[in-house]
Amino acid sequence: MRVLAIESSCDETAAAVVDESGRVFADVVRSQVKLHAPYGGVVPELASRDHMRAVSLVVREALDRVGGFSNIDGIAATTRPGLAGALLVGVQAAKGIAWARDLPFVAVDHLVGHLLAAFLEREGSPTDKPEYPFIALLASGGHTAIYRVDGPELSQIKELGGTRDDAAGEAFDKIAKLLGLGYPGGPIVDRLAAQGRAENFPVPMPMARRDSLELSFSGLKSYVARALAERGMPKDEAEIADICAGFQRAAIGSLVTKTLRAAKAEGVDTVVLAGGVAANRELRTRAAAACEKAGKRLVVPAFASCTDNAAMIAYVGALRLARGERDDFSVPTATRTSLVRTTRKGGGPR
Ligand code: KG4
Ligand code: ZN
């Protein structure tokens, strides 16, 4: 079952062809990052317009790589969660292709795509795929939560705890903005933190004393903003690096602590990282050390599988189609995930 999928939920226009074993035949991602950089974040209207320009280009490129429609058995698209206008572009394109080619169509939840991205087979993928059940930490620019994944179906995925406010990647982006470092902030803060000393800028780890698996990142931003207001903007690169290191130690510390706590509480032996923040080097090394100490196996997907892409959507679509599932063309888009959320948003740390 080779599936062509389109992803347009945020600021990447992507198309890919993948089968239900996770084999990646084509994976095309066109990032809008330069378009949004001057604004320090994604501008929804600009995102939708750029998806309109790019969607047919990425689809054509993916199809060229697999030799055209004769090698496609079904169509999938990210229908939720994401920016309303951005989602519509990819979903309408996918429905149009499915209708014109008389191919079956399925809707895919973007978060399920991230959670199963470790099953994709491509260069840089882990040699051993995860086994169910596993605990997944999904940390991206729009979402941050810890899940128990018992299987690939929606009903087999349970949120154990999520952020009460900002996503982890959003916190990296906001810190970078405060320090005038550019967008997206994650990779920049990651690089600078490696050169800095966290001891020189100690930041308290959010929600550390709580037993719950809930997370919070907005306080970290306020903490850094307050410190900068009190002591003034950093005078040199070394001071910026120390601030990045202090912030990153607290943010990553809370992600790793809560993820391991979840794995122990659930008695699950495999931990999987997912989402753009999984590219973070401190997250990778600290998660690896914590898993080794706890006797858990850590699976880190290839970098291209962590950041937004259509391959993870095509994989979930291929699994659904292989199970005989189909969606009709009336399936709507939605800004919220279809996964049940246990964490109440908006309350800040309790
Ligand atoms: O998964 P993704 O590509 O898109 C979303 O679905 O949001 O994640 C993008 C986010 C951004 O907030 C970016 O700053 C963050 O992931 N990110 C990182 C790193 N690379 C990307 N955060 C920390 N360290 C990194 N190395
Ligand atoms: Zn994403």
Ligand nearest to the CA of 32: 1
Ligand nearest to the CA of 167: 1
Indicate whether residue 279 lines ligand 1 (CB < 6 A): yes
| From 254, 277, 337, mutation site for ligand 1 pocket: most ligand atoms within 8 A of C-beta | 277
Q: How many CB atoms lie within 10 A of CB 58?
A: 26
Indicate whether residue 142 lines ligand 1 (CB < 6 A): yes
Answer whether residue 348 shows pLDDT above 60. Answer: no
Residue nearest to atom 19 of ligand 1 (CA): 186
Atom of ligand 1 nearest to the CA of 275: 1
Atom of ligand 1 nearest to the CA of 185: 14
Atom of ligand 1 nearest to the CA of 173: 14
Indicate whether residue 219 lines ligand 1 (CB < 6 A): no
Query: What is the tens place of the pLDDT at every residue in 160-212?
Result: 999 999 999 999 999 999 999 998 999 999 999 999 999 999 999 988 776 88
- Which helix (H) or strand (E) segment holds residue 98: the answer is helix 84-101
Atom of ligand 1 nearest to the CA of 167: 12
Query: What is the tens place of the pLDDT at every residue in 126-144?
Result: 888 999 999 999 999 999 9
Indicate whether residue 113 lines ligand 1 (CB < 6 A): no
Question: Largest Cα–Cα distance of the chain, in whole Å?
Answer: 64
Query: What is the tens place of the pLDDT at every residue in 285-322?
Result: 999 999 999 999 999 999 999 999 999 999 999 999 99
Query: What is the tens place of the pLDDT at every residue in 64-113?
Result: 999 999 999 999 999 999 999 999 999 999 999 999 999 999 999 999 99
| Cα–Cα dist 178/28, whole Å | 33
The DSSP bridge pattern shows strands 297-299 and 270-274 to be parallel
8 Å CB contact between 267 and 279: no
8 Å CB contact between 222 and 169: no
Answer whether residue 349 shows pLDDT above 60. Answer: no
- CATH 3.30.420.40 residue spans of the chain: 3-117+305-322, 127-300
Residue nearest to atom 13 of ligand 1 (CA): 186
Q: What was the pLDDT predicted at 170?
A: 95
Å from CA of 168 to ligand 1 middle:
8
Confidence of residue 118 (pLDDT cuts 50, 70, 90): very high
Assigned fold of 3-117+305-322: Nucleotidyltransferase; domain 5 (3.30.420)
Indicate whether residue 172 lines ligand 1 (CB < 6 A): yes
Helices 168-178 and 218-231 pack at an angle, to 10 degrees, of 10
Query: pLDDT averaged over the chain?
Result: 95
Answer whether residue 258 shows pLDDT above 70. Answer: yes
Q: Which DSSP letter does residue 154 get?
A: G
Residue nearest to atom 1 of ligand 1 (CA): 276
Query: What is the tens place of the pLDDT at every residue in 14-33?
Result: 999 999 999 999 999 999 99
- In the structure encoding, which two tokens stand for residue 290, read together? 């914590």
Atom of ligand 1 nearest to the CA of 184: 14
Residue nearest to atom 18 of ligand 1 (CA): 186
Å from CA of 106 to ligand 1 middle:
27
Atom of ligand 1 nearest to the CA of 9: 6
Residue 27, φ and ψ in degrees, nearest 5: -150, 105
Helices (H), 194-280: 218-231, 237-266
Answer whether residue 341 shows pLDDT above 90. Answer: no
Ligand nearest to the CA of 313: 2
Ligand nearest to the CA of 170: 1
Confidence of residue 347 (pLDDT cuts 50, 70, 90): low
Q: Does domain 127-300 have CATH number 3.30.420.40?
A: yes
| Cα–Cα dist 176/183, whole Å | 7
Residue nearest to atom 16 of ligand 1 (CA): 276
